[in-house]
Amino acid sequence: MVAARELTKLHEEAVRGSISDLRRHFEQHSPRGEFVLVVQGNTGAGAEVSAEAAERDLAVRMRELLAQPEMDEKKALKQLAREWGIGRSDLYRRWQRLRT
């Protein structure tokens, strides 16, 4: 599930995770602005998200995190690993490929 805030605006933000992950996030960070919720549909044959789209989403989220004043690359990778449920070393390799 994705909760996207302020799409196409300066403070655009997207939070990814399970419903319980999003609930915990918004209990700690009061929701503000306009939101769009994206819920994954049928995951049967033919419904897979392309690897290219997933890489694009990863790059967008990483840049969002790095735009935060207190966030450095190490902290951003740790946060993204929690959000996506992927190991930091795997994310780091993917991020290195995407940065170039």
| Rounded average pLDDT per 10-residue block, the chain, 100 residues | 80 81 85 82 56 80 90 91 85 84
Distance of alpha carbon 35 from alpha carbon 47, whole angstroms? 24
Question: Are 34 and 61 in a shared domain?
Answer: no
Question: Are 7 and 28 in a shared domain?
Answer: yes
Residue 47: what pLDDT?
A: 45
- Please, are residues 73 and 88 in contact by the beta-carbon 8 Å criterion? no
Question: Are 5 and 41 in a shared domain?
Answer: yes
Question: Are 42 and 15 in a shared domain?
Answer: yes
Q: How far out from the chain centre does Cα 96 lie?
A: 17
Domain interval for residue 41: 1-48
Residue 39: what pLDDT?
A: 82
Give the H or E element holding residue 26.
Answer: helix 19-28
Q: How many domains does the chain contain in total?
A: 2
- Joined together, the tokens standing for residue 31 give 């929701």
Question: Are 9 and 55 in a shared domain?
Answer: no
Distance of alpha carbon 8 from alpha carbon 51, whole angstroms? 24
